[in-house]
Amino acid sequence: MIAVLGLVVGVVLGLVFEPSIPDAWQTYLPIAVVAALDAVFGALRAYLDGIFDDKVFAVSFVSNVLIAALIVYLGDQLGVGGQLSTGVIVVLGIRIFSNAAAIRRHVFHA
């Protein structure tokens, strides 16, 4: 319950404050968001599997975000930032899809 509430609160905060973030972060934020989404879906799947652990979730959430940002940063330094960020998005997207499939199997038994 608190998880859903937290999501709603975050959205509302973002809408209310309309914060502006530094230019340097602007290329990393979308990657970080997708990485966090991946962690959330993974956590939901783990919860439905009965193996959810909040510590694991927190660590995977933070590390996912950090690693995604790091990869993109490295790509920018190497001059292949665009391609690498596309690669990260693709990989995370595949993971999100497979997690979503597992969740679907749990919820709908199909």
The site for another protein (CB under 8 A) is made up of: 1-11, 13-15, 18-19, 21, 23, 26-27, 29-30, 32-33, 36-37, 39-40, 43, 47-50, 52-54, 57-58, 61, 81-82, 106-107
Cβ 43 to another protein, closest distance in Å?
Answer: 7
Least distance between another protein and beta carbon 103 (Å)? 9
- Per the CB < 8 A criterion, the answer to whether 52 and 41 are in contact is no
Look up residue 50 and give its DSSP letter.
T
Shortest separation between residue 62's beta carbon and another protein, angstroms: 8
Do residues 88 and 72 lie in contact, with contact meaning Cβ atoms separated by under 8 Å? yes
- Greatest Cα pair distance, the chain, in angstroms, is 46
Q: Is 22 helix (H, G, I), strand (E, B) or coil?
A: coil
Closest to another protein by CB, 49 vs 97, is 49
